[in-house]
Chain A
Amino acid sequence: EAGVAQSPRYKIIEKRQSVAFWCNPISGHATLYWYQQILGQGPKLLIQFQNNGVVDDSQLPKDRFSAERLKGVDSTLKIQPAKLEDSAVYLCASSLTGASFSGANVLTFGAGSRLTVL
């Protein structure tokens, strides 16, 4: 089974510029997550989609971050304008479903997109 695909792997931008990250989840996985991992910390959830609907975006800084999953498959996370503190790895994950039955909500992560804001 193919894993979670993410691109680009690395991106360097100046502050106030914009950037977009792309994620393609495991085939058949209804739930998709974007996490932010700042150096030295554990990942933190930004947004969760169930199919093409948002389940939770309470920790997404909506003044600068946006995300969409238009057809319920792949997703894009955008930052505009970027700040220095946005430097982090952006991890995409997917699971079969967000519902609670054994094994269904096991998250599988992609390799991540490392953002450096100068």
Chain B
Amino acid sequence: GIQVEQSPPDLILQEGANSTLRCNFSDSVNNLQWFHQNPWGQLINLFYIPSGTKQNGRLSATTVATERYSLLYISSSQTTDSGVYFCAVDPNAGGTSYGKLTFGQGTILTVHP
């Protein structure tokens, strides 16, 4: 099956700093989502981004599908950004997605005040 690798595994920042999280995947995809898992365990959709670039406030994401990676940028980090960030992909099965996501191991982000 498809492999998803996220880096770094852990990241510690001071409030106000910027960061970049990376997701590499081993096969072509037609669904890529970034999630934030908050301290209560809720997985929150950040982006649906199988290709291209999107921005939402202080967060932005870029997926380069031909090179099989995606980046999540967090600018001016806040303590509320702490948690685990997951990248999840659905392989491109001949152009048909069956909606099944394979998750990476996540990046644990801690933002200190």
Q: Which residues of A contact B (CB under 8 A)?
A: 31, 33, 41-45, 48, 55-56, 89, 91, 95, 97-100, 103, 105-109, 111-112, 114
Is the CB of B43 closer than 8 A to any CB of chain A?
yes
Q: Digit string of B39-55 for contact with A (CB within 8 Å is 1, else 0)?
A: 01111010010000000
Q: Count of A-B contacts with CB under 8 A?
A: 68
- The range of chain B's interface size is 20 to 34
In the docked arrangement, what's the CA distance between A99 and B96, Å? 6
Which B residues have a C-beta under 8 Å from some C-beta of A?
4, 30-31, 33, 35, 40-43, 45, 48, 86, 88, 90, 95-106
* Identity of the chain B residue whose Cβ is nearest the Cβ of A58 in the assembled complex: B100
B99 and A91 contacting across the interface, CB-CB below 8 Å: no
Name the B residues within 8 Å of A111 (CB-CB). Answer: 40-42
